[in-house]
Structure 1
Amino acid sequence: MNPAFVLLILLPAAALGMNCTGQPDGNYEIGCRSYSICTGGKTTIITCDMEMAYNQDTGKCDDVTNIPPPCGIKKDCSNAKDGRYADVDNNCKSYYTCVGGEFAGHNFCPSSLVFNEKLQSCDWPKQTPPPCGTSTGTSP
C-alpha cells in the first residue's frame, strides 16, 4: 500500500484524538481502526494493523471477524470511485472510505450527525439528502 495513502488514513484518527485532560484512565474509541488510551491525563493514539479493528469488548485491536458491524464488515470498493460513502446499513451514523478500489475502513460520525456524501463529511440530518437525511435541497 502507498505510504502517502496510509498517512492520509491515519491523519484523521490523530486529528480526532481525544483530549484526556480530566478523563478517567482507559481506552476511548476514535474509529474502527484506532483508539486513544488515556493515562494520567495524557493521550496515546493506537492504530490497528490492516485486517484488524478496535474491539470494544476487549479494548484492543482484534481480527475484524471477531468484531460486530460496522467495524467488522469490509465493504466492496472494487467498482467505487475514491471517496467516502455513507454506511446505510448503520443508518448513516458511520461512513467508509474507498481508495484505488480498496476498502480503507469505517469511521463514525459524532452523535446526532449522519454522513452527507455530497459534502463528504458528517452533517445534520435536516441538511443531508436521503437516504441518510431529510433535506429536499430546497430552501424554506
Structure 2
Amino acid sequence: MAVNQNNLLKCFLLFLIIGVAFAQRKQENKKRPASNDEDVSTSSQCPEPNGYFADAEQCDKYYACSGGEITEKLCPDGMVFNDYSPDQEKCDLPFNIDCSQRSKLQTPQPSQHCPRLHGYFAHSDESICDQFYYCVDGKFNMIVCPAGLVFNDKTGICTWADEAKKKGCTTKDVFNFECPKVNETFALSHPRYTDPDDCQYFYVCINGDVPRRSGCKLGQVFDDSTKKCDWARKVPECVDWYKDQLSDDELYALENPTTKKPKHQPTPFVSRRKPMRPKKNKSEPSPPPEED
C-alpha cells in the first residue's frame, strides 16, 4: 500500500513539474516578437468572417473577407487603405492615414508631373513653392496657392511657410522680408509693416518674428501711420496705386456702394366690412324711449 502511495506522489510531482514548465514556455512565447513566418500565417487568415482589413506591412494593400473567404486587394497607385471601419472598403489619400507602422507601398506608376497615378504632388522645381499638381489616373492639373501660402508636402494643402517647414520655401525665401527686431512687449502685439513692393499688402509679424502676408480689399491700401487699411486717396504715398487698374468712377463706386432699396412691402389687408354692433344682453333693461 505504501508503495502505491509513493508512486502516486511521484506521478503527481511529475505532472506538476511539466505543468509549470509549459506555463513558463507559454509566457515566454507571448513576450517574444512574432517571426516572419508567423506574420504570414496570421495575415493569410480572416480576423473576422466578413469585412475589410489592412495588411500588416503594406499601407495600400488590404484584404476582403466574405464568409471566411479571403481576397487580397490593392488600392489605386498613390492611395492607401483607410482602416477606420472593417465595414467600409475605402482607399484614401496618404495625408489622411497614418502609415508609419506599415510603410511599404506598391511600385509607383509615374507620369508627367505625377510621381504616382493619384495624389497631390509638389512642383519638381524646389524653388517654386506655391504651385503643385493634382493627379488623377496619371493626368495632372496644376494648382496655385493663394498669395503668401506654399504647398505643404505633409498635409497636401496650402499653408503658411513656417508651418510647411519646406527647404527653400521658408518665410524669408517666399516673402523676401524679415521682421525687424523689437522688444518682447511690442512683439506680443503682432506688429504690422508695409509691403515695400505692393501698397495693397502688408506683413503681420507673429510674435514679432514670423512674417505672414495679408492684404487690404480692392480700392484700399495699407496706411503705415495708422497700421490699418484705408482708401487709397487718403494715403499720400499710395494715392495713385490703382491708377492703371481702376478708373476714378470705379474707385468712387467701391468707396460709396449704392444701398439697395428695400423690397416692396405688400399693403396690409384692410377689411371694408362695417363693424358689427355688439348684441344686447337680454338681462339688461332696454333704454327708456326718447320723449318728443
Give the structure-1-normalised TM-score: 0.36
Give the structure-2-normalised TM-score: 0.19
Structure that is richer in strand per residue: 1
Structure that is richer in helix per residue: 2
Tell which has more relative contact order, 1 or 2 (C-alpha 8 A, sep 6+). Answer: 1
Q: Which has the higher Rg, Structure 1 or Structure 2?
A: 2
